[in-house]
Structure 1
Amino acid sequence: MTYVEGFVVAVPTANKEAYRKHAADAAPLFREFGVARMVECWGDDVPDGKVNDFKGAVQAKPDETVVFSWFEYPDKATRDAATEKMMNDPRMAAMGGEMPFDGKRMIVGGFDSIVDDRAEGATGYADGYVVPVPDGNKEAYRAMAQKASQVFRDYGATRVVEAWGDDVADGKVTDFNRAAHKQDGETVVYSWVEWPDKETRTAGWEKMMKDERMQHDPNDQTFDGKRMIYGGFEPIVMA
């Protein structure tokens, strides 16, 4: 199944177009290295959380916007080979000096998809999630996510991806583990839901909240929902 490299970064809001252009210009190079699909999403509906949230994950300042993005690869071997090429290609070094954001606060990790369901339709909006899951609950989480995926697609979602942490290292300033308040014996899951547009997403969520298939069983402790971070994002680059 799809191997995912997930990113979250804080970008000065005033640099939106510069960031979009930077990412778009880099896309052909990334595809040359082996990236099958690249998506960059600009924060649109990113709420503050009681325990954690996307803004805190990247230490976003008041004048910054959170970007949720990912690379898709056919497998981990392709991703590892691409990473090596990126690290040794002088064109990447040249781009590094022009980044319109603070790269030290960018968080990145490798994830192996455990759910990847698709439906017909284009992508015009995305919900992004990061959540810590006990290692022993991997299969239970996958089964729960598979069930929820059907509900999402019933109400208009065009794709649902749940990816299990595989190469998620601690960072010097920020990382996925701290973002999710990961504890010993847990793994970080990176996931997203694609929608045709924000209107379909909003209507879909309203219907899902009333769907009995999405009602939470209080005895279900598959993961700690209080530490799940989420937000709505507008794609600005898809390549």
Structure 2
Amino acid sequence: MSYVTGCVLPVEAERRARFVDQARKAAPLIREFGASCVVDALGDDVPKGKITDFYRSVAARDGEILGFGWIEWPDSAARDAGESRMMADPRMDVSDMAFDARRMIHGGFEMVVDEGPAGPFGYVDGFVLAVPSENREGFIAHCLAAAPLFLRHGATRHVECWGVDVPAGQVTDFQRAVAAEPGETVCFSWIEWPDKAARDAGQKAVFAEMDTAMADNPMPFDGRRMIYGGFDVVSREA
């Protein structure tokens, strides 16, 4: 089963160019270590929430923007081997990073839904949510039923990932990001679009159709605690 390392991080806005440069230099190395795809994106349309949101997930400060990204691996064994090589390779320079790594949240996820033709993309909608662990199959079924709605309106890929190795952090973590309760699993998801214009038009069409199309497919999780936003892709290596 494909495995995903997902992360959210606070990036200093004035060091945006450095973040992009670092991401583009690191991605080919991570591919060399066994990853099948490496993506980094920066916040463009990220709303504030009443209960949870991406800003609070990483305790974002004034002058910081949000980073959302992931690494796809063939399986968990490839992830383990790749991360070991990554940590030992002197080319992976982590000094003078353009973000505060102490507030970065990260975790390991199994890819349970991967729908769409895929291909090049320039924009993503990112999501993090908490699902009752006993609702795993219902969550997968819900997402498989929802994916065609987005694909019909211009999305090229719809991915849902189930948390399997999501560590607690000292400052921030995925559990706190979505106010996860006992017995809930954190999920990491994204929808790929060709560009922002396609996303804006597609999202408008999806919202107009949502009530009817999803009437018989209620969310098997608390949508009030889901965090979401739109991100510009700044680095992609596949």
- Provide the TM-score with structure 2 as the length reference: 0.95
Question: What is the total number of aligned residue pairs between the two structures?
Answer: 235
Instruction: Supply the distance in 2 between the matched residues of 1:216 and 1:177 (Cα, whole angstroms).
Output: 29
Which amino acid is 2:207 matched to?
M
Q: Is the 8 A contact 1:165 1:187 kept in 2?
A: yes
Alpha-carbon distance, 1:210 to partner: 2.1
Q: Matched residue of 1:114: which SS?
A: strand
2:56 corresponds to: 56
Answering whether residue 30 of structure 2 is matched by residue 30 of structure 1, we say yes
2:84 corresponds to: 84
Alpha-carbon distance, 1:185 to partner: 0.3
Which amino acid is 1:51 matched to?
I
Residues 195-214 of structure 1 deviation map (CA, whole Å, 9 limit, x = unaligned): 01111111111111122213
Which amino acid is 1:126 matched to?
V
Instruction: Supply the distance in 2 between the matched residues of 1:125 and 1:223 (Cα, whole angstroms).
Output: 25
5 Å-filtered alignment, 1:99-114, equals 99-114=97-112
Alpha-carbon distance, 1:172 to partner: 1.0
Q: Matched residue of 1:209: which SS?
A: helix
**Residue from 195, 204, 207 that aligns with 2:205:** 207
Q: Is the 8 A contact 1:119 1:157 kept in 2?
A: no
Q: Residue 22 and residue 216 in structure 1: after superposition, are their counterparts in 2 closer, same or farther (change >3 A)? A: farther
Instruction: Supply the distance in 2 between the matched residues of 1:40 and 1:144 (Cα, whole angstroms).
Output: 27
Q: Residue 201 and residue 171 in structure 1: after superposition, are their counterparts in 2 closer, same or farther (change >3 A)? A: same
Q: Which runs of 5+ in 1 are unaligned?
A: none
Q: Is the 8 A contact 2:142 2:219 kept in 1?
A: no
Q: Is the 8 A contact 1:208 1:214 kept in 2?
A: no
Runs of 4+ in 1 over 4 A off after TM superposition: none
1:138 corresponds to: 136
1:185 corresponds to: 183
Instruction: Supply the distance in 1 between the matched residues of 2:51 and 2:134 (Cα, whole angstroms).
Output: 23
Q: Is the 8 A contact 1:123 1:194 kept in 2?
A: yes
Identity %, equivalent residues: 46
Alpha-carbon distance, 1:121 to partner: 4.7
2:154 corresponds to: 156
Answering whether residue 116 of structure 2 is matched by residue 118 of structure 1, we say yes
1:17 corresponds to: 17
Q: Is the 8 A contact 1:7 1:70 kept in 2?
A: yes
Residues 37-91 of structure 1 deviation map (CA, whole Å, 9 limit, x = unaligned): 1000010000000100000000111200000000001111100111111222233
Q: Matched residue of 1:156: which SS?
A: coil
Q: Is the 8 A contact 1:111 1:165 kept in 2?
A: yes
Instruction: Supply the distance in 2 between the matched residues of 1:144 and 1:67 (Cα, whole angstroms).
Output: 27
Instruction: Supply the distance in 2 between the matched residues of 1:197 and 1:23 (Cα, whole angstroms).
Output: 20
Instruction: Supply the distance in 2 between the matched residues of 1:122 and 1:28 (Cα, whole angstroms).
Output: 17
Q: Which runs of 5+ in 2 are unaligned?
A: none
Instruction: Supply the distance in 2 between the matched residues of 1:87 and 1:124 (Cα, whole angstroms).
Output: 29
- Provide the TM-score with structure 1 as the length reference: 0.95
Residues 149-189 of structure 1 deviation map (CA, whole Å, 9 limit, x = unaligned): 11110111000100000100101111111101111100000
1:167 corresponds to: 165
Q: Matched residue of 1:8: which SS?
A: strand
Q: Matched residue of 2:162: which SS?
A: strand
